[in-house]
Structure formats: C-alpha cells, structure tokens
Amino acid sequence: MLFPKNFTWGVATAAYQIEGAASVDGRGASIWDDFSHQPKKTFEGHTGDVACDHYHRYREDVALMRKLGVNGYRFSLSWSRLIPEGTGKPNPKGLAFYDRLINALLAAGITPWVTLYHWDLPSALQRRGGWLNRDIVEWFGEYAALAASRYGDRVKHWMTINEPPCIINTGYKDGTFAPGLKLPFAECLHAAHNLLLAHGRGVQALRAGCQGKIKVSIAQTGRERIPVTEGARDIEAARADYFACNERALWNLGWWADPVVLGKYPEDGLATFADALPRIKTGDMKLISQKIDFLAYNCYSGWPVRAGANGKAEKIPGEWGAGNPRGTISWLSVVPQAPYWAARFQTGRYKLPIAFTENGYCNTDFVHLDGGVRDPQRIDFMTRYLREIRRACEEGYPVNGYFYWSLLDNFEWAAGYRERFGLVHVDYNTQRRTPKDSFAWYRDAIRSNGANI
Ligand code: GBH
C-alpha cells in the first residue's frame, strides 16, 4: 500500500519568516517586528524586515513549488497585514496580496493550507495584553471571519494557531521569543486558556464564513517519546508520558490537545497545576472543543524512554545523545521514529487522521563552486523520517499529509538567518533562490508517491 493515493505532499512556511515588506502597503507592526528590533533578542540583531521578500517574489516561489511538484502549500496570513490594528478596519492592499498568492497557487494546481496565526500578533493587541486579555477571543474571531469571508471560496484547509505550547513557553514563560515575557506559571496558564478559547471561536468563524465544506485544525507540537523497545511495557510508558502533565512546563501534548478534541483538561494536569489554574467559565470547554476535522502536527525531534520499575517512563541517560546526528539548531536531534509514534499515539487517543504540517532539518548548507547546493544530510533526514511515516501508513494509522519545513531558507526566529531549513537556498544579499540537492530528491520522491524513498 505504501503512501495512500491521495496523500498530500507539501512544503510549509510562515508569514513573518518569509514575507518581508514589513512596512509596505499599510501593514501594521507585529510583536516580532518589535522584538527583533530590540537589542540582543535575535542572532546578530536579524529582523524580518526583508526576509525572503516573498511579498514581492511570490510568483517565483510558486513557480518553484510547481517544479517541486507539491500538491499542498501551508503558509500563514499576517494578521497585521490584514487588520493593521488587530481589530477594526481591514487593509485592502493586504487582503489583495493573499488573493494574488492563493490564485497563483490554484493556477499551479497547489492546494492552499492556511494558518491564521503563526506567532506574529499585531502590536496594537499586545499593548492591550495580548493572550492575557480574554478579549482576544473576540479579536481572533473577527480576524478569522474576515479571512473566511475573503478566501473561504477558494481555501478549504485551515489551521487556527501554530504551536500553542511554543507561543506560551517561549513568549510568556521563558521570554526567548516575542513578546519576550517571563511570567509566573499561573499567568501562562491563563494566557494558554485564552488561546484555546480563541481557537474555538476561530473554528466557529471559519465554518460560518467559508463556502461549502472545509477542513479545520490547530497545528500542535510536543515532545515526542520513543519507546526504546517495542515491548508492551515500554510502549505504554512512552504513550502515557507523551500526554502526561506531570511537570510545571507546558510542552506535553495532553494539556493542549485534550481540551480541543476531548473537551476537557487532563486530570493529571489539573492536579499538577492545581494552585495555578485559570478561571474556567461555564461554556468554555464547549467553545474550545469545537469539532475539528484532522490533527495537524509539527514533528521534529524526541527522545527514547523505557518503563522503569514502577511502569513510568524514564529517560535513558546517554542514549541517542552524544554522537547522534543533529541539525545545527540546539534542539534538533535526528530521531526519525518521532512521527511514527506521534501518529500511532495521537490517532489512537484522538480518533482523527493526522497530517504532519511541519518536519524539517537545518544545516550550514553552502553554495558549491558549480553553483549547486550540496545537502546530503537533509536528504538523509527526509529519507529516514519519511520511511517511518510510510511505516505508519502501512500499519494502517491514518496519516494523510507531509509538509516539509521549509520551502525556503528563512528568518528562523531568535536564530535569525543563521539556521537554514530550506529545500531552496536563499542568498540574502541578492535574494537569489537556488534549489538544493534535496529539492530534486523530494521532487522525485513526490513523483513516485514515496515508493522510491
Ligand atoms: C517550528 O517550531 C515553527 O513552527 C517554525 O516556525 C520554525 O521555523 C520551525 O519549527 C523550525 O524551528 O524543549 O527541547 O523539547 C519549532 C518546533 C517544537 C521546537 C518543540 C522545539 C521543543 C524542544 N519546536 N520543540 S525541547
């Protein structure tokens, strides 16, 4: 069976990371403009002011995707390009940009998968508290309604929010990403609750405003657990730990995905966070758990665990640590089993199909004297991960798509332009795009529907 016949082969990007044109055509500022312009927040002070200049070069980028042969493209809308103040008056030129992009994609036979929010909150809304202000539920609903009414005739695949845990952990708890806050845990949980409510309101607005049937989700991420053996005890330990909320951190999937799909916060989290819980009003869980149609999941790395004497998962010291292949960014250890177990555990618990809406590798790829870009490590990475995804498909877990992160080298948040995840190399002085060796490899993989991986 290999990969299913209607499998989506895609690439992914996000608005702030590629568009540039930060103060062009009426775009309002976002928290990433503010953050990256503060001293010492990003690598060598890099900002997304220009990025890949995709705002002006989108035709070239769509042409690249057409050559690549993808049938799906995941990108995000810039909220402050569409509504410069976050709420209120829309910006016609911003709206027109995504019309052009969507039409170019459809003309190239590529299905748009749109994320409403990939981390670039309008600055005007941050000044009013951002995710800490419960009014954001209505602000987000208004934004989602605008996107639905404008693009919902052509866009049928939607994601509300990208990686809630990253937004709260890095933006509100550790302060390493915009808006750079370091808040007490209770406030993080409060912001997290508002974020989940906003997701629910967003789903309602999308369903009300789009034409015909749409597929909606929220792009989650977590810390993958790999059972070190495939014995039942190790598998159960890994599964429990994957969803568990047993530490005062918000990476574990249960806190984020259980409310959305199962309509309740997990019991263990309610106990672990008992002194810091947000106020949950009547009707909140119902709003959060609007029906979604698939699991969207960004999957990169992970670590192995085994069942300890008490059956609970324990990390294995040294295992897959030193000597394990890595990407150049700190957290990216090459753990190809991650998507296999993510698919198996999540489709089991949530009873929905899953699409891998991000997976990718960064390295210091350089342009060779012959003008090509050699990136054998990326090809190796994709081969290993896609074989594991194929295994999940063959065993009957419903995986329906894969989006490589990213089409282009781009603004890698706090790491600036230092980290290159693209299938296409970008020279930031000239904006010249050069497909890497992995581009041709992925094109061939897509052509064979994964049979030759
Ligand atoms: C994605 O997030 C983003 O969506 C995308 O914008 C970005 O460019 C891309 O990845 C590459 O960074 O605490 O060590 O367990 C990053 C995915 C998932 C990475 C959670 C860190 C937890 C690391 N993140 N993961 S750890």
Quick check: is 1 in a domain? no
For the segment 25-51, what is each residue's pLDDT rounded down to a tens digit? 999 999 999 999 999 999 999 999 999
pLDDT at residue 247, rounded to an integer: 84
Q: What pLDDT, on the 0 to 100 scale, is given for residue 3? A: 97
Q: Determine the pLDDT at residue 334.
A: 94
Tally the domains of the chain: 1
Q: What pLDDT does 248 receive?
A: 84
Ligand 1 pocket, residue 194 CB under 6 Å: no
**pLDDT, average across residues 53-77:** 99
What is the arithmetic mean of pLDDT over 426-438? 97
**Is residue 1 scored above 90 in pLDDT?**
no
The answer on whether 55 is annotated among ligand-binding residues is no
Query: Is the CB–ligand 1 distance for residue 234 below 6 Å?
Result: no
Least confident piece of the model among 10-24, 229-243, 312-326: 312-326
Residue 2 lies in a domain: no
Q: Is the CB of 297 under 6 A from ligand 1?
A: no
Cα 360 to ligand 1 centroid, rounded to whole Å = 10
Q: Is the CB of 358 under 6 A from ligand 1?
A: yes
Residue 88 Cα to ligand 1 midpoint, Å, equals 32
C-alpha–C-alpha distance, residues 216 and 301, integer Å: 25
160: containing domain: 8-447
Residue 389 lies in a domain: yes
pLDDT band at 321 (very low <50, low <70, confident <90, very high): low
- Whether 217 is in the pocket of ligand 1, judged by its Cβ within 6 Å, is no
Confidence of residue 316 (pLDDT cuts 50, 70, 90): confident
pLDDT surpasses 90 at 84: yes
Residues in the chain, overall count: 453
Atom of ligand 1 nearest to the CA of 405: 9
Produce one character per residue of 191-212: b if its CB has 16 or more CB atoms within 10 Å, e if not.
bbbbbbbbbbbbbbbbbebbee
**Residue type present at position 415:** A
Tell me, yes or no, whether 88 lies in a domain.
yes
Whether residue 76 is preceded by a cis peptide bond, meaning omega within 30 degrees of 0, is no
Average pLDDT of 350-362? 98
> Is residue 404 part of an annotated ligand binding site?
no
57 is a domain residue = yes
The rounded Å distance from CA 26 to ligand 1 centre is 30
Q: What is the tens place of the pLDDT at every residue in 101-148?
A: 999 999 999 999 999 999 999 999 999 999 999 999 999 999 999 999
In a domain, 452, yes or no: no
Domain annotation covers residue 264: yes
Q: Is residue 234 part of a domain?
A: yes
If we measure between CA atoms, which residue out of 140, 292, 135, 272 comes closest to residue 207?
A: 292
- Residue from 163, 224, 388, 419 carrying the catalytic annotation: 163
Tens digit of each residue's pLDDT (9 = 90 or more) over 246-278: 888 889 899 999 999 999 999 999 999 999 999
> How is 71-111 classified by DSSP, letter by letter?
SEEEEE--HHHHSTTSSSS--HHHHHHHHHHHHHHHHTT-E
**What is the model's pLDDT at position 317?**
78
49-58, 186-195, 367-376: the lowest-pLDDT one: 367-376
pLDDT recorded at residue 324: 81
pLDDT in tens, 163-195: 999 999 999 999 999 999 999 999 999 999 999
246 annotated ligand binder: no
Answer yes or no: is pLDDT of 318 > 80: no
301-326: average pLDDT: 86
Rounded average pLDDT over 61-68: 99
CATH classification at residue 94: 3.20.20.80
pLDDT of residue 322: 64
Check residue 352 and give left, alpha or beta (phi > 0: left; psi -120 to 50: alpha).
beta
Q: Please provide the average confidence, as pLDDT, over all residues in the chain.
A: 97
Model confidence at 367, pLDDT cuts 50, 70, 90, reads: confident
Q: What is the mean pLDDT of residues 381-390?
A: 98
User: Could you tell me the CA-to-CA distances from 34 to 82, 124, 247, 310, 337 in Å, in that order?
Assistant: 18, 11, 32, 48, 38
Q: What is the pLDDT of residue 83?
A: 99
pLDDT of residue 205: 98
The answer to whether 358 is a known catalytic residue is: yes
Active-site residue 419, yes or no?
Answer: no
Listing DSSP states for 121-155 in one string gives -BHHHHTTTGGGSTTHHHHHHHHHHHHHHHHTTT-
